[in-house]
Amino acid sequence: MKINNVLWGIGLAVLSACAGGKSAQPFERIDADKELAYCDAQLHRALDSLRKGDTIDYTMEPRNIYPGESAWNCRKATKEEWTAGFWPGVLWYDYEATGNDSIRKEAERFTESLGFLATIPAYDHDLGFLVYCSYGNGYRLTQNPEYKEVILAVADSLATLFNPAVGTILSWPRNVEMYGGHNTIMDNMLNLEMLFWASRNGGGKRLYDIAVSHADKTMQNQFRPDYTSYHVAVYDTVSGKCIKQCTHQGYADSTMWARGQAWAVYGYTMVYRETKDTKYLDFAKKVTDVYLERLPEDYVPYWDFSAPGIPDAPKDASAACVVASALIELAGYCEGAERAKYIEAAERMLASLSSDKYQSRDKNVAFLMHSTGHWPAKSEIDASIIYADYYYIEALLRLKAYREIH
């Protein structure tokens, strides 16, 4: 069985392997089926390692694997654990690729450990990551009506963090005092996808308006004139004025944190898909172009584009996965040389990520190594991290679908 991965707006031009892009270095395009089979094999190894006797604790979601370790370190699926939706999402994508019903059952069990989020007040903005990657993919593939109800309830919950005076969603309620106001982080762009979906599926126009307002304010206040992004914008809670632009996970307030820029690339591409307003498409290209221009030769960024110690600084494969997936979609909204440039860049990223330099293979049960979670906090540096795997398998499915059309 094959269930097509959602692929949006892709037209008819043929992929050019040489137009545009950062480098003229030759590269070998990956075999998407072969890499998806690799993911499936790793995922079975991971499930075996999670099994204790005959059972798995489905409330414990894989999060990271440090160098020298072989199995996932898991975290309890709680409201604080922002990555808990990615593992169920990986399982759903593997089910999409293979049609294997035993994987579907595992996907359901891990997904349903997050159902409690529909019954509690919003803890922070990560509800989109938590629920759209898990329940969202589950609903897309199964049409289970209970999943739809969960997503709609959680979208309403996320909307309670919207401050109309500011025009954005509050990312971290717990950090209002620390930052001196209403904080919005670039990552929050991804959570808008769930609001757009909910709006289209019975949640009402209000959710669409919140998502659009958030995207607009972020565009105004969270980018420098060269289209590189600030991780955090802080707003006066009452007047809504932007009072500070700074970083949390980047190297410095003035630098381009790789995953922050990746969230911007993915976020504005997705907002264009949902609104069809070309200002978002133009903006997605601008934030992509500055990212591509500054990439190292292997198309996988250092964790921050101004990280200390480059070229020996840690990489962030997760940022490369997020951007690769986004660029396959973005290419579909472009024509001619521009389309060729974006799809070639995505192909180069995936070729690099699929090499023995980045794939974990027999070193551990993840798909990929060499991601960086939070360098300033000395956390998850040069590790396998679950969201890298999520966007990697998503990108492979999108690439396969793209090639089937072109």
Q: Which positions are catalytic?
A: 126, 187
Q: Please state, in angstroms and rounded to a whole number, the distance separating the CA atoms of residues 52 and 169.
A: 40
Smallest CA-to-CA distance from 7 within 32, 34, 44, 41 is with 32
Q: Give the Cβ contact number of residue 294 at 10 Å.
A: 16
Smallest CA-to-CA distance from 345 within 328, 333, 358 is with 328
Q: What is the nearest approach in angstroms of ligand GLY to the Cβ of residue 373? A: 6
Q: What is the nearest approach in angstroms of ligand GLY to the Cβ of residue 259? A: 5
Q: Nearer to ligand GLY by C-beta: 262 or 295?
A: 262
Q: What is the nearest approach in angstroms of ligand GLY to the Cβ of residue 133? A: 12
Q: Nearer to ligand GLY by C-beta: 342 or 390?
A: 390
Site string for ligand GLY, 68-87 (x = CB under 6 A): --------------x-----
Site string for ligand GLY, 28-67 (x = CB under 6 A): ----------------------------------------
Residues 117 and 151 sit within 8 Å (Cβ to Cβ): no
Q: Nearer to ligand GLY by C-beta: 96 or 124?
A: 124
Q: What is the nearest approach in angstroms of ligand GLY to the Cβ of residue 262? A: 8
* Residues 262 to 281 in contact with ligand GLY, rule: CB under 6 A: none
Q: Position 98: which residue type?
A: T
Q: Please state, in angstroms and rounded to a whole number, the distance separating the CA atoms of residues 357 and 387.
A: 18
Kindly state the number of chain residues that form the binding site for ligand GLY, as judged by CB under 6 A: 5
**Per CB under 6 A, 249 contacts ligand GLY:** yes
Q: What is the nearest approach in angstroms of ligand GLY to the Cβ of residue 185? A: 7
Q: Nearer to ligand GLY by C-beta: 63 or 104?
A: 63
> Residue 384 — φ and ψ, nearest 5°?
-80, 130
Residues 131 and 151 sit within 8 Å (Cβ to Cβ): yes
Q: What is the number of the residue whose Cβ is closest to ligand GLY? A: 187
Q: Nearer to ligand GLY by C-beta: 136 or 373?
A: 373
Give the one residue of 63, 148, 214, 259 binding ligand GLY; rule: CB under 6 A: 259
Q: Nearer to ligand GLY by C-beta: 81 or 108?
A: 81
Question: Helix, strand, or coil here: 319?
Answer: helix
User: Rounded to the nearest 10 degrees, how much is the dihedral formed by the CA atoms of 373, 194, 320, 106?
Assistant: 80
Token reading at 273: 């898909």
Q: What is the nearest approach in angstroms of ligand GLY to the Cβ of residue 392? A: 15
**Per CB under 6 A, 218 contacts ligand GLY:** no
In 231-281, DSSP assigns E strands to 232-235, 242-246
Question: Helix, strand, or coil here: 35?
Answer: helix
Q: What is the nearest approach in angstroms of ligand GLY to the Cβ of residue 13? A: 33
Q: Nearer to ligand GLY by C-beta: 259 or 273?
A: 259
Helix (H) or strand (E) holding 302: none
Kindly calculate the radius of gyration of the chain based on its CA atoms and give it in whole angstroms: 20
Site string for ligand GLY, 128-167 (x = CB under 6 A): ----------------------------------------
**Per CB under 6 A, 187 contacts ligand GLY:** yes
With tokens 């991804």, the residue in question is 190
**Per CB under 6 A, 380 contacts ligand GLY:** no
259: left (phi over 0), alpha (psi -120 to 50) or beta: alpha
Q: Please state, in angstroms and rounded to a whole number, the distance separating the CA atoms of residues 94 and 386.
A: 14
Q: Please state, in angstroms and rounded to a whole number, the distance separating the CA atoms of residues 268 and 14.
A: 24
Give residues in contact with ligand GLY (CB under 6 A): 82, 187, 249, 259, 373
